[in-house]
Structure 1
Amino acid sequence: MKVVIAIDSFKGSMSSIEAGESAAKGVKRVFPDAKTYIRPLADGGEGTVETLTAGGGGRFIHVNVTGPLGKPVSCQYGIVDKTHTAIIEMSGAAGIMLVSESERNPLYTTTYGVGEVIKDAIKKGCRHFIVGIGGSATNDGGIGMLQALGFGLLDKDGNEVCFGAEGLKYLDTIKDDNVIPELSQCTFRIACDVTNTLCGEQGCSAIFGPQKGATPTMIMQMDKWLAYYAKLAKEKYPKANPKHAGAGAAGGLGFAFLTFLNATLESGIKIVLEETHLEKYAKDADVVITGEGRLDGQTVMGKAPIGVAKIAKKFNKPVIAFSGCATKDAILCNNEGIDAFFPILRGVVTLEDAMNTENAMNNMADTVEQVFRVIQTFSKEKYTGMEE
């Protein structure tokens, strides 16, 4: 029996790898000779660095960069040396979780550290970048990142504008004569699952500004500044398009990547599934296992387990999902390629006990074991004598 396992992390409880290893343990208790293949999984957000670095046999790098408030932070990213690829989560350098609620103010938070991470990876030989841009604390249109990479974002006196969205207020000129030369050799795939434009009612300021600490007055100001920034950018880069789907991602960082770094914005789960070569593993599997911390109606809206299921169904493979919990509307998953799903909680426990990593791993192994005992009961003849 060949079992391919691609489970998303159970946030705050199990990593994708831990969940996969636990599921494999449950399978082996029933089918000791089964071949189990664990493919790390993420949707382009939290856990993407760990997933793609581990899946590609890469290494982790820690670098001190400028955090969203201008103070130093340590950011982890991954390098896959054989493909000269860096895997970065912008939230590691400019994420909202790095800013306390009382300090959240997008007028001052910067993406400068994101550019510093890219710059560090370039120095280490990377020429291909996969960047997840969820969870930002910023609304600066990516000008901080651009400044770190050598772009000139200048005021009317020829000085660099200040950090944060407030810097856009003073922006008068954009220059690229001092940009890091190696950038012209680099490619950028951006994991982006939002379709918001840069400006307007569905723009980054209006939709995401409030959660970053923006007041109604700030939202109007930032939207106006971003529109002028886009106008300046278009004068120098004719393809600049503030209405591009995803241009408003991460407070306009999507626009900066598209306009200045020739990036492509792609579904996060699409990038991860391609980079971990899940299709190659799934095409001759007997069973595919997937899952996430919570299966619900939102799972079918392009989340990781559905991405796995769609690949498995290309080859008519059965798909079983495991989750920490499952809501009533999780039944929608059955229409999207997940044949059956099972919550792993095995009794009434406190949230703390449920989230405990050791408990969660044991629950995963035990639940998978019982499901595979059912499979064994109905398929003894098929799998008897299968060689490893």
Structure 2
Amino acid sequence: MLEKRMKIVIAPDSFKDSLSATEVADVIEAGLQEVFPEAELIKCPMADGGEGTLDTILAVVKGERCSSLVTGPLGDIVEASWAWLPGSHTAIIEMAEASGLQLVPVAQRNACLSTSRGTGELILEALDIGARRIVLTLGGSATNDAGSGMLEALGARFLDSEQWPLPPGGQVLAALNRIDLSSLDPRLPEVRFEVMVDVDNPLCGPNGASYTFAQQNGATRAEVARLDRALGHFAACCQALFENDHRDYPGSGAAGGMGFATRTFLKAEFRPGIEIVAELAELARRIQDADLVITGEGRCDVQTLRGKTTLGVTHVARQHQVPVIVLAGTLGEGYADLYSHGVTAAFSLVSGPMTLTDACQQTPELLRALARDIGRVLRLSTDVRTKTLTSSAL
């Protein structure tokens, strides 16, 4: 009887500033194939909700890439991609595509004025083609408007004391007097909203959206304080309307307060991004009869244990008692704690002194060489096992 070929599932995240998750999987596959061509290699690139999640999902799931012209963070028109999975009537919307920081030149970034309206317009596009489930990823936002722009696109009206609509942005929420939901899209209650979020910041306070993220979006220190007060006032108005308060819900501060809006107005369920991506990609099914899983990301350290891709993949593999090898650009403090979660071994690409710039530029070569070395070890173990079985048979 011929021995079963070794099956290896390759399920990495991207290496930031170097390779996408799909490219990482391709490089690892190439390195393994150099010395272990008989192995069955299954590529399943992963993501945890940050930029590039949309591309990663479409690389492993049968879906359609859609493109829409929507309102950008500063009011101009931008082209945004999103995904449609017709089999499950699911839309995947990456907020960064419509309202992302990468859409705004550094000199024009203004957290006080930027709007999340474009993200709401993408939700409308999804509703129009029959979405029953909408998955939102909240990484990379340029906004700090607590999702008010998104809600305006869906029909909500935010009015001042004279009943005039407020202009775009987070700072003007300090003048909010009344929230009018009479024209909110009636299809919203029939849709299941899931939010990929990898931070647990509240909406307000020293760890809230404004103090944590607004400066990178162009706000001065004085503006940060004003934005925080404005978002607090917005939360108080929402509390009076809904008789509940989600400002301290973990993740409400994500994406400039978009987490708060989705939780309060859309009743969204917050889930770790890797959990949703793994579900969509049917990672468990791919892993269940595998001999090994190879995963990894740009840096593995204590932050990885807070729900990053490497940890999520490891948890799935552990459920099926499949060993896991981690490949990372660097291994930082706390990475060894992954061993108690099911990781068998972890390796860094950089074996000697090297600048970050050089490491990023050489990532493909370094990663392929490391994968090749791991393939040599796996090949050796397979050869030894085959010889042992042959000797026993004789």
- Paired residue for 2:127? 122
Change (3 A) 1:199 1:347: closer
- Paired residue for 1:377? 380
| Alpha-carbon separation, structure 1, partners of 2:326 and 2:252 | 34
Question: Which aligned pairs between 1:79-228 and structure 2 lie closer than 5 A?
Answer: 79-228=84-233
Q: Which amino acid aligns with 1:35?
A: E
| Alpha-carbon separation, structure 2, partners of 1:27 and 1:215 | 49
Change (3 A) 1:329 1:257: closer
Deviations 1:195-215 (A, max 9, x none): 221222322122222222333
Q: Which amino acid aligns with 1:70?
A: G
Deviations 1:30-87 (A, max 9, x none): 3333222111201111111112222221121222211111112221211111111111
- Paired residue for 2:37? 32
| Alpha-carbon separation, structure 1, partners of 2:357 and 2:208 | 38
- Paired residue for 1:229? 234
Matched, 1:367 2:379: no
Consecutive unaligned residues in structure 1, runs of 5 or more: none
Matched, 1:17 2:22: yes
Match of 1:294 among 290, 293, 299: 299
| Offset of residue 123 of structure 1 | 1.8
Provide the aligned C-alpha RMSD in A.
2.4
- Paired residue for 1:305? 310
Change (3 A) 1:383 1:116: farther
Q: Is the 8 A contact 2:143 2:217 kept in 1?
A: yes
Change (3 A) 1:219 1:367: closer
Change (3 A) 1:113 1:298: same
Q: Is the 8 A contact 1:77 1:89 kept in 2?
A: yes
| Alpha-carbon separation, structure 2, partners of 1:183 and 1:328 | 44
Consecutive unaligned residues in structure 2, runs of 5 or more: 1-5, 390-394
Report the identity percentage. 38
Change (3 A) 1:383 1:121: farther
In the alignment of these two chains, the number of paired residues is 383
Change (3 A) 1:380 1:297: same
| Offset of residue 350 of structure 1 | 7.4
Which shifted more, 360-369 or 129-138? Answer: 360-369
| Offset of residue 139 of structure 1 | 1.3
Q: Is the 8 A contact 1:12 1:355 kept in 2?
A: yes
| Alpha-carbon separation, structure 2, partners of 1:155 and 1:258 | 23
Change (3 A) 1:355 1:203: closer
Match of 1:257 among 262, 273, 276: 262
Change (3 A) 1:383 1:297: farther
| Alpha-carbon separation, structure 2, partners of 1:200 and 1:363 | 43
Deviations 1:81-116 (A, max 9, x none): 111111111111112222233322221011111111
Q: Which amino acid aligns with 1:105?
A: N
- Paired residue for 2:283? 278
- Paired residue for 1:333? 338
Q: Tell me the SS of whatever aligns to 1:257.
A: helix
| Alpha-carbon separation, structure 2, partners of 1:108 and 1:252 | 14
Which shifted more, 224-233 or 62-71? Answer: 224-233
Change (3 A) 1:231 1:195: same
| Offset of residue 349 of structure 1 | 7.4
Q: Is the 8 A contact 1:2 1:285 kept in 2?
A: yes
| Alpha-carbon separation, structure 1, partners of 2:234 and 2:302 | 38
Change (3 A) 1:178 1:284: same
Q: Tell me the SS of whatever aligns to 2:371.
A: helix
Change (3 A) 1:328 1:150: closer
Q: Which amino acid aligns with 1:8?
A: D
Q: Is the 8 A contact 2:171 2:226 kept in 1?
A: no
Q: Which amino acid aligns with 2:228?
A: D
- Paired residue for 1:322? 327
Q: Taking structure 1 as the reference length, what is the TM-score of the superposition?
A: 0.90
Deviations 1:277-296 (A, max 9, x none): 21222222101100112333
| Alpha-carbon separation, structure 1, partners of 2:270 and 2:305 | 21
Q: Tell me the SS of whatever aligns to 1:181.
A: coil
Q: Taking structure 2 as the reference length, what is the TM-score of the superposition?
A: 0.89
Q: Is the 8 A contact 1:77 1:87 kept in 2?
A: yes
Q: Tell me the SS of whatever aligns to 1:194.
A: coil
| Alpha-carbon separation, structure 2, partners of 1:354 and 1:227 | 43
Change (3 A) 1:153 1:51: same
Q: Is the 8 A contact 1:346 1:363 kept in 2?
A: no
Q: Is the 8 A contact 1:64 1:72 kept in 2?
A: yes
| Offset of residue 174 of structure 1 | 1.1
| Alpha-carbon separation, structure 2, partners of 1:191 and 1:8 | 15
Deviations 1:184-238 (A, max 9, x none): 2211110112222122232212222222233333233222222222222123222
- Paired residue for 2:392? none
